[in-house]
Structure 1
Amino acid sequence: MDKKIIVITGASGTGKTTISKYLKNTYRIPSVITHTTRLPRDGEKNGIDYYFETEDSFFKNHYLEKVEYSGHWYGSSEESLNKTWENYDAASIVVDTQGAISYKERYGENAIVIFLEVDYDTVAQRLKLRGDDHKRLISRINSDEFLRDLRIPKELEGKSYKIVNNDIEITKKKVDQIIKSEKVN
């Protein structure tokens, strides 16, 4: 059986991490741990939520994609994906839309892209409730990357699943349908 990577993408606050956790808890599909130079939020742990890196250590990895966002680097390494695939036939990853394009180009049919969309006001409210620093929140929701990630890129149209995530229970049911139709589990 071919290894699968479920690529979850969309703007910050659209529910990407929630869906990744749902896949893990419901289908035992682990998430590939990505790397970042930002500091951990309360409760986040190194090697579980992210590999928290220094600027120096970050650039020693081999990345499938990396991006600088709000003054910090984020990336997913080949090492982390291959390590996950050693033990599982499927994994999920949360990336921005540019990262999703890279995965689709590299893995083709084995990359199942799920684009989550929420309207701007809802996303802004979710980020505020998440406890992000106000100045950083304003900077983030006005960034070119955030505004870009609110809409599905043309490179993924017809090659991905789009879910409007206004109700998490409906979104979970749609994810269940995708897992079934793609024969992931």
Structure 2
Amino acid sequence: MSKAIARRGIMLVLSSPSGAGKTTIASRLLEDPGIELSISHTTRPKRKGEKDGKDYHFVDRETFTRLRDQDAFLEWAVVFDNYYGTTRKPVEEALAAGRDVLFDVDWQGARKLRESAKDDVVAVFILPPSAAALEQRLRTRAEDSDDVVKRRMRGASNEIQHWEEYDYVVVNTDIDQSVASVRAILAAERLRRTRLSGLKGFVQTLLATL
């Protein structure tokens, strides 16, 4: 495909129950050129190693509520008693410039992004290979107490029930294969005719020179 053909960016949405691998897949995708992470605002506390402005914009509830009331978010949701939201302006600027934006959100966020920008969204759901594997991954992270692990396992059932709302589903049995699958999805969606805003002019020029 000619580099001269302008393209509108994609909102690539990744969702999964906690521990199924979407954060690892997202970090691998962000090694590729042309895609950037949508950095959400959240009211939850920082985890060890996280940085404000890189992993999330960590804010208090008063600040989050003010932004919400100003219609600054494309989507927002409450997850495990904490607020998460995606600010509108930087996403719209990236898409217009032909850059892809990656979203690591739950099913609520994915649904609201579709409502806000249906034609721009490509949604991928990541499934664990089994319930036992999911629980093992949660325990291996060694970040959460037994009570939190049990709570997340209960939450996984609710999250997984929404798998049919997504365009694609990847079962994360092998992380390298899962990353390759999502990269293939992204590559195909970048070639979708309706996203190539410069294609009509390119074809007209091509026809004129035949």
Tell me which residue corresponds to 2:107: 97
User: Any gaps of 5 or more consecutive residues in structure 1?
Assistant: none
Tell me which residue corresponds to 1:50: 56
In the superposition, the TM-score normalised over structure 1's length comes to: 0.86
In the alignment, which of 143, 147, 151 is matched to residue 132 of structure 1? Answer: 143
Tell me which residue corresponds to 1:77: 87
The reply to whether residue 170 of structure 1 matches residue 177 of structure 2 is: yes
Q: Which runs of 4+ in 1 moved over 4 A?
A: 83-88
Q: Which has the larger radius of gyration?
A: 2
Tell me the CA shift for residue 86 of structure 1: 6.8
The reply to whether residue 141 of structure 1 matches residue 153 of structure 2 is: yes
Q: Is the 8 A contact 2:125 2:163 kept in 1?
A: no
User: Any gaps of 5 or more consecutive residues in structure 2?
Assistant: 1-6, 192-210
CA RMSD of aligned residues (A): 2.0
Tell me the CA shift for residue 51 of structure 1: 0.5
Q: Aligned partners of 1:147 and 1:57: how far apart in 2?
A: 31
- Equivalent residues, number: 179
In the superposition, the TM-score normalised over structure 2's length comes to: 0.77
Tell me which residue corresponds to 1:183: 190
1:139 is matched by which residue type in structure 2?
A: R
In the alignment, which of 36, 41, 44 is matched to residue 38 of structure 1? Answer: 44
Residue by residue over 1:4-23, the C-alpha shift from the partner in whole angstroms, topping out at 9 and shown as x without a partner, is 11011111111111122122
Tell me the CA shift for residue 114 of structure 1: 1.0
